[in-house]
Amino acid sequence: MTNLFQFPVDREASSAAKVRALEALLIEKGVIGSDSVDAVLEHFETMAGPFNGAKIVARAWVDPAFKQRLVADTPAAIAELDLPPGMAGAEGEHMAAVANDEAVHNLIICTLCSCYPWPVLGLPPYWYKDPVFRARGVREPRAVLKEFGVEVPAAKEVKVWDSSAQIRWFVVPERPANTDHLSETQLAALVTPESMMGVALVASPAAA
């Protein structure tokens, strides 16, 4: 899906080069320490990321009562789990979960900029900030979903949730078939960040 919105193919390498130059300059001028960037990276590798969201989704799949609480009061339900500290911290103050089911498919977006639930999903992918994605996701969500490979049946409703500084949405995808024998940890390993944004389904392990 990397070229969905026609970015130059060297976009990642070019951004990385700019970031390295900026980092070197900031360190040289004493604005940040040489360990500052490492600390931020470690935070997103170990504390805030889609590995947290995957645990939340897996719990919702195995525990219907938890799923109900998660949708009703997302921060309170998340606080029940053994997750790293900071689930209500930066960019996660007001998170809200919406659950896919047989009648509804949910898609999250930020029409204004790139608001995203950092504690449970980490940092948003670059295409999430793309003006084309943001505009088309609202105007023709079914067409955009189809380009991501998700064909939502006509009988199924598509709901688009606009994240903002006040509220940050994430999706509890549907549990795939042929997963009755899996443990909660094995289930969490199936859950992708894209599925928690609503631009992908969670694949059944038998079909993978």
| Contact set with Fe ion (CB under 5 A) | 110, 112-115
113 is catalytic: yes
Pick 91 or 194: Cβ nearer Fe ion: 91
CB of 136 to Fe ion, least distance (A): 16
Active-site entry in 14, 114, 183, 195: 114
First-last CA distance in the chain: 18
**Residue 176 or 193 with smaller CB distance to Fe ion:** 193
Nearest approach, Cβ of residue 110 and Fe ion (Å): 4
Question: Could you give the CA distance from residue 88 to residue 92 in angstroms, rounded to a whole number?
Answer: 5
Catalytic-labelled residue, pool 15, 34, 36, 115:
115
Q: Is 183 a catalytic residue?
A: no
**Where does residue 160 rank: exposed (0-12), middle (13-18), buried (19+ CB within 10 A)?**
middle
> Is 114 an annotated catalytic residue?
yes
- What number of residues does the chain have? 208
Nearer to Fe ion, 61 or 118 (CB): 118
Shortest spacing between CB 193 and Fe ion, in angstroms: 17
For residue 109, give every residue at least 6 positions away whose Cβ sits within 8 Å of its Cβ, in sequence order, or none: 128, 133, 134, 137, 138, 160, 161, 162, 163
Q: Say how far apart CA 94 and CA 104 lie, in whole Å.
A: 23
* Catalytic residue positions, numbered: 110, 113-115
